[in-house]
Amino acid sequence: MFNMILKIGVILALAPVGMMYLTWAERKVIARIQDRVGPNRVGLYGLLQPLADGIKMLTKEDLVPEGADRLCHFLAPILIVVPALFLFTVLPFGPGLVAAPLTTGILFFVAIGSTQTLAIFMAGWGSRNKFSLLGAVRNAAQLIAYEVPLVLSLAVVPMVVGSLNLTEIVEAQRAGIFLFTPWGLTGFLLILITGLAEVNRTPFDLPEAESEIVAGFHTEYSGMKFALFYMAEFLSTLAISALGATLFMGGWLGPEIIPGWLWVALKTFLLVFVMIWIRGTWPRFRIDQLMGLAWKVLLPLSLANLAGTAAWVLIPGWQGTLLSLGLSLGTFLVTTQLWLAPRPHLPRQWVKSLDEEVNIWESK
Amino acid sequence: MNYNLNYLFLGLFFLAALVVPLLPIVLARFVAPKKPGRVKNSPYECGTEGEGDAWVQFRIQYYLFAILFVVFDVEALFLFPWAVVFKEMGLQGLAAMGVFLGVLAVGLVYAWQAGALEWE
Amino acid sequence: MRIYGLELIRGLGITLWHFVASYTVGIRRTFAHRVRTQVRQRPSENGVFTVQYPEERLAVPERFRVLPVLIFDGKENEKWKQATERCTACGICAKVCPPQCIWIVQGKSPEGKPIPKASEFYIDVDVCMNCGLCAEFCPFDAIKMDQTFELGSDERRASHIFDIDKLHVSTDYYARTHPKAWAEEEAKRKAEADKKAAAAAAGKAQG
């Protein structure tokens, strides 16, 4: 019993602290990418900035718009943070250092993670604001589109390991981490991309696209509730990075110079850095590009990766490796061509409008 | 440790995790100012006066993607138990799943070719 | 046919280089502290371009202008006196001022006769639009544009009407902040004085 309370205490204490310093790290890295300095006034190197932000959020008025569904509006920020915290219960931080060693670890992670969609939809619908609703609908469309390739690309790991338990998956990587196999690399990249989409980060931040729909689903939230949405987003970012580090980068495995949990932390922060780096580089997708990428490239690619993994397992030696690599690369090349390559003919409605334009000029 | 204790732990964790979002909300109740106003509490519409209701129907196109999602997510659900025992089943298991996935892949190709994946 | 996604990776390379350069170039600049506060970084250069404002400042260009000031002949730290005041209360600045923020009261001699000196001079700095027309039109080089831009205060009524005491700065101060303009004006004044002296000498010779 005491053991359980200790575990709960550790997760609930460390996760918010990690999230707070993730906001700091994000602002610092983005600033450096843009040749700025970033927060540096509150404390040494701005290290107390998250605390100052927290105090500021706490003292802001909590607004509930008129005509809102008050229950939905109140519950949404709570129901988005709780699953984000739940994600950390199945992640192993060392041999035996896992809060709940479920045999269905991966499945639990995905199932809990996807309930956040519901909370976001509650927020959008409950606010009774057009921007919020638009953001929520976009979010739902995006999440269901990226859920499929995410789940399919996660399935390759149990195919090789024969278990859904995250601890066993890490142990199976003692011989060599999965990142250095062709199917592992494909799966890792797929998880990185779909993970970005799942936590609504740039370039997939359409549900909260400032330039189009103000702040998306959290337009009508202020003060602490607004902060909770951010907390959930950053917690999920941490969790999905930790999942990627566990599944493909060997979790706590590494030279024994530093303890295992530090390896997990290092690998997680490496992935978080990549996510921030991507945010500092790529512009936001358009909604048709977003759906196109998910359904036309990532989904076929994750299906091909399943086949590639099967080939890698059944055909030992370099032939299996080559086949797996060829399947992934080939699918990527073919699907991107089919998706993006210019068509020989313009779509009909463009042709029509062009004709009309020509006629206008001729009549003058 | 009894395996079922894990579920007890998750239940306890749920109760404890509720505190994390609730505590700051309750704290903010005491600290934050409370000055509601008619204009301030109206739904935000970039400063202009609100027009119509926000609770509207949205596009049927989302429904199409939702159906596609259900198809592939159920498939993924079938995939996980298969993936765990894949090594023991070997080629026979691969053939069975290959047929299942093949049918779905053909369905995806058809949906693509029919233009169901185009967002307009 | 082309391979998609390569430019995305190239973009990542560019931002990573900026990230790294912001540290490596930044260290070099820390040691060249003085250079950095005087010259704004060129767009072609890498590294952090932030100026840590209250601690570091960029030198402002000489013709940078904010609010008008009145000039008196004297040293810095000296207090202005009616004798050293350049303003003659002619009121041209008040007339040309587009937002009409200048208010002048002409001085009087002890006998009550008006004299060419201002006894009160007010500028409402909230109304002033920093156009510099007053300085352009002043025939006596008495009103000039100052470069002080840190004018924040926590009171916005009485303290934002500058009176004659607050407006006066010495010629030395002006010469320091505007070395080029000061040299030009001095040369002009000298040439005019020389011309006048020459004319007076010629008149004396004729007469």
Considering chain B, what is the average pLDDT of its residues? 81
Look up residue A196 and give its two tokens.
Answer: 């970005």
User: Are A224 and B8 an interchain contact pair (Cβ–Cβ within 8 Å)?
Assistant: no
Cβ contact A90:A34 at 8 Å:
no
What CA–CA distances, in Å, run from A227 to A16, A82, A221, A238, C95?
12, 14, 9, 16, 55
Cβ contact B73:A151 at 8 Å:
yes
User: Are A65 and B79 an interchain contact pair (Cβ–Cβ within 8 Å)?
Assistant: no
Look up residue B52 and give its two tokens.
Answer: 């119509």
- The packing angle between helices A2-33 and B5-31, to 10°, is 60
Q: What percent of chain C has pLDDT over 70?
A: 90
Q: How far is CA A284 from the centre of its chain?
A: 15
Q: What is the pLDDT of residue A364?
A: 43
Domain ranges of chain B: 5-113
Distance from CA of A22 to the nearest CA of C (A): 17
What CA–CA distances, in Å, run from A139 to A115, A142, C12?
12, 5, 26
Q: What is the pLDDT of residue C33?
A: 53
Q: Is the backbone of residue B50 left (phi > 0), alpha (psi -120 to 50) or beta? A: beta
So what's the ipTM on this one? 0.83
Considering only CB atoms, B24 lies closest to which of A68, A141, A224, namely: A224
Q: Give the CATH H-level superfamily of domain B5-113.
A: NADH:ubiquinone/plastoquinone oxidoreductase, chain 3 (1.20.58.1610)
User: Are B24 and A107 an interchain contact pair (Cβ–Cβ within 8 Å)?
Assistant: no
Q: What is the pLDDT of residue C26?
A: 62
Distance from CA of B31 to the nearest CA of A (A): 6
The pLDDT tens digits of the residues spanning C51-74 come to 777 777 777 888 889 999 998 888
**Is A340 an interface residue toward C (CB < 8 Å)?**
yes
Q: Report which secondary-structure segment, H or E, holds C70.
A: strand C68-72
The pLDDT tens digits of the residues spanning C98-130 come to 999 999 988 888 888 888 888 889 999 889 999
Higher per-residue pLDDT: C175 or C55: C175
Q: What is the pLDDT of residue B53?
A: 72
Q: Report which secondary-structure segment, H or E, holds C121.
A: strand C114-124
| Dihedral, A252, A256, A259, A263 alpha carbons, nearest 10 | -40
Domain ranges of chain A: 1-49, 60-363
pTM of the model: 0.81
Between chain C and chain A, are at least 3 CB pairs below 8 A? yes
Cis geometry, peptide bond prior to residue A203 (ω within 30 degrees of 0): yes
What CA–CA distances, in Å, run from A283 to A27, A143, A201, B118, C19?
17, 19, 11, 21, 18
Domains of chain C with CATH codes: 1-59 (no CATH), 68-199 (3.30.70.3270)
Give the number of A-B residue pairs with CB atoms closer than 8 Å: 205
| Dihedral, A208, A213, A218, A224 alpha carbons, nearest 10 | 90
User: What is the rounded distance in angstroms from the CA atom of residue A339 to the CA atom of residue A87?
Assistant: 34
**Cβ partners under 8 Å of residue C124, min gap 6:** C101, C103, C160, C161
| Interface chains of chain B (3 or more CB pairs under 8 Å) | A
**Type of residue at A115:** T
Helix (H, G, I), strand (E, B) or coil at A172: coil
User: Are A78 and B21 an interchain contact pair (Cβ–Cβ within 8 Å)?
Assistant: yes
Backbone angles phi, psi at A65, to 5 degrees: -65, 155
Cβ contact A263:A115 at 8 Å:
no
Count of residues for chain A?
A: 364
* Rg of chain C taking only CA atoms, in angstroms: 26
User: Are B84 and A288 an interchain contact pair (Cβ–Cβ within 8 Å)?
Assistant: no
Query: Which one-letter DSSP state was computed for residue C145?
Result: E
Which of B 12-51 lie inside 8 A of A, CB atoms? 12-14, 16-22, 24-25, 27-29, 31-36, 38, 40-46
User: Are C22 and A341 an interchain contact pair (Cβ–Cβ within 8 Å)?
Assistant: no
Could you tell me which chain B residue has the CA closest to the CA of A211? B46
- The packing angle between helices A49-58 and A2-33, to 10°, is 110
Considering only CB atoms, B41 lies closest to which of A58, A65, A144, namely: A65
Spell out a b/e string for A46-73, using b for 16 or more CB atoms within 10 Å of the CB, else e. Answer: beebbeebbeebbebebbbbebbbeebb
User: What is the rounded distance in angstroms from the CA atom of residue A65 to the CA atom of residue A323?
Assistant: 57
Chain C residues touching chain A at CB-CB below 8 Å: 1, 3-5, 8, 11-12, 14-16, 18-19, 21-23, 46-50, 52
Q: What is the pLDDT of residue B111?
A: 82
The residues of chain B scoring below 50 in pLDDT are none
Considering only CB atoms, A33 lies closest to which of C5, C18, C49, namely: C18
Considering only CB atoms, B32 lies closest to which of A58, A85, A140, namely: A58
One-letter-per-residue 3-state SS of A123-136: HHHHCCCHHHHHHH
Report how many helices (DSSP H) and strands (DSSP E) chain A contains, helices first: 16, 0
Query: Which one-letter DSSP state was computed for residue C59?
Result: P
**Is B84 an interface residue toward A (CB < 8 Å)?**
yes
Query: Which one-letter DSSP state was computed for residue C114?
Result: E
Between chain C and chain B, are at least 3 CB pairs below 8 A? no
Helix (H, G, I), strand (E, B) or coil at A106: helix
Look up residue C119 and give its two tokens.
Answer: 């006894």
User: What is the rounded distance in angstroms from the CA atom of residue A272 to the CA atom of residue A276?
Assistant: 6
Q: What is the pLDDT of residue A39?
A: 85
The residues of chain A scoring below 50 in pLDDT are 361, 363-364
Which of B22, B39, B44 to mutate: most A Cβ within 10 Å?
A: B44
